[in-house]
Amino acid sequence: MKIILLTFAFSLVLTFSIVAQGLKIGDQAPGFTLKNVDGSMTSLSDYNSEKGVVVIFTCNHCPYAIAYEDRIIELNNKYAPMGYPVVAINPNDPAVQPQDSYELMQARSKEKGFTFPYLFDEGQKVYPTYGATRTPHVYLLQNSGDTFKVAYIGTIDDNYQEADKVEQKYLENAIRSLMNGSSPDPAETKAIGCSIKVKKN
């Protein structure tokens, strides 16, 4: 009995450790099925025919996320036709941050004219499996045939405040690297944004 309990406890610690560390470059991306602002359910597997997917954990209220909205729309409009569509996921608990409720997600999507799915991570089950900590936090996934592998993690570019003064377009460069058959360099950057809002027990 003690051996069984110790084995179970070790398994829980190992699982927590993996989740806490988050995904690394080359890891298989966990699948998900989440509610879109149009009421439909969207899954990662819906994109199996694409070359890759740009998963961005973002939200309504964060000034960093707001600053990047137009750039995210532009990225999707430019690269979705090339096989790299954007999928945005709101990881915040609306009980902690009411501005990130599903209803206000719908309103924000309509107001900004989002051209990509904007999904609600209800119950906050998806973002921990990726290891996202900020909004926005980017995970560029590459379709490897039978699964999606992580190719880039981090921020969108090097200047959230002024789009016209960006010098390093990290995400766009990573996408173009994949399109050219090479690995992104850098493959990781530091995500800059607001912390994900989680209800305290």
pLDDT tens sequence across 30-43: 999 999 999 999 99
Sketch out the chain's domains with CATH numbers. 23-195 (3.40.30.10)
With 0-12 / 13-18 / 19 or more C-beta atoms within 10 angstroms meaning exposed / middle / buried, residue 112 is: middle
Q: Please give the chain's pLDDT, 201 residues, in tens.
A: 443 333 333 333 333 333 446 999 999 999 999 999 999 999 999 999 999 999 999 999 999 999 999 999 999 999 999 999 999 999 999 999 999 999 999 999 999 999 999 999 999 999 999 999 999 999 999 999 989 999 999 999 999 999 999 999 999 999 999 999 999 999 999 999 999 999 876
Residue-wise pLDDT for 107-126, tens only, equals 999 999 999 999 999 999 99
Q: What's the start-to-end Cα distance of the chain, in Å?
A: 30
* Pair 87, 148: CB distance under 8 Å: no
**Residue 163, pLDDT score:** 95
* pTM as predicted: 0.89
H or E element, residue 153: strand 148-154
**Residue 200, pLDDT score:** 78
Helix (H/G/I), strand (E/B), else coil: 97 = coil
**Residue 12, pLDDT score:** 32
**Residue 146, pLDDT score:** 87
**Residue 127, pLDDT score:** 98
Alpha-carbon distances, residue 173 vs 17, 123, 142, 176, 182 (angstroms) = 31, 33, 14, 5, 11
